Homo-oligomer: A and B are copies of this chain.
Amino acid sequence: MPETTGDPFLLLEVLGTIAFAVSGGAVAVRAGMDWLGVMVLAVVTAVGGGTVRDLLLGITPVSWIESPWPIAVALAAGVLVIALGHRVPHLALDSRSAVLVADAAGLAAFTVTGTFVALAAGVSGWIAVVLGVVTGAGGGVIRDVLARQRPLILVGQIYALAALLGAAVVVGLDAAGAGEGLTRWLAVAVVLLVRLAAIRWQWTLPSFEPQDGQPRDE
């Protein structure tokens, strides 16, 4: 994904990759997986969304095969989770403030990048929004399926919605002829603000009560 090193946007993507990997690893720790399971969930969470986007668009080999730094970064983050998971079993890394903020940065970076990739592939605007959300939020869904949790982004938090708004900003500004740099950073700001405000004030989307003895989490 990153084309120019030194790009501040790259920093955002690296930060987001670390945060996504940490969230995947932390879920694996809580689910009682082994070390390799932690590594697998770290990697899958970090690259899952972009992988699904690439497959849907027909961009193959998928991006991390061509440019594998996210795998390396995610593996390093997985090692960190394993080390901390043994020393501080109930640390719940993925609900620490620092990780939540970094995760919001990742959501922003991945969503914006994903939307641009989709637009560059020539898809229509609203399909680009769909693919931007898939890029930003898809990894978390795969993580939750593998760890047998209810996909958290679908059960009340403002998460995918922040991605949706950011992707819409990208498409809107792009259609209005705004420059890519401006568009990118404005959209990142929207995702970050919405997501961080949702965490801070515990905004939720309206949701339904589970019925018929459906499993609940936590």
- A contact set with B: CB distance below 8 Å: 28-38, 40-41, 51, 55-58, 60-62, 64-65, 68, 71, 85-86, 89-90, 121, 123-124, 126-127, 130-131, 141, 145-146, 148, 150-151, 153-156, 160-161, 164, 204-216, 218
Contact = CB atoms under 8 A, between A and B. Distances in A.
A148 B151 CA distance: 9
Contacts of A57: 60-61, 65
A28 B60 contact: no
Contacts of A34: 154-156, 204-208
Contact of A56 (B28, B51, B156): B51
B35 A205 contact: yes
Given A145-B146, A148-B148, A212-B218, A154 B58 contact: no
Given A57-B61, A123-B61, A155-B37, A31 B71 contact: no
A144 to B, nearest CB: 9
A89 B130 contact: no
Nearest to A156: B34
Contact of A32 (B29, B68, B124, B208): B208
A150 B58 contact: no
A141 B151 contact: no
A31 B205 contact: no
Q: Which 6 pairs across A and B sit closest by C-beta, in order of nearness?
A: A58-B60, A37-B154, A32-B210, A34-B207, A34-B205, A30-B211
Contacts of A210: 30-32
A60 B131 CA distance: 14
A26 B114 CA distance: 29
Contacts of A65: 56-57, 123, 127, 131
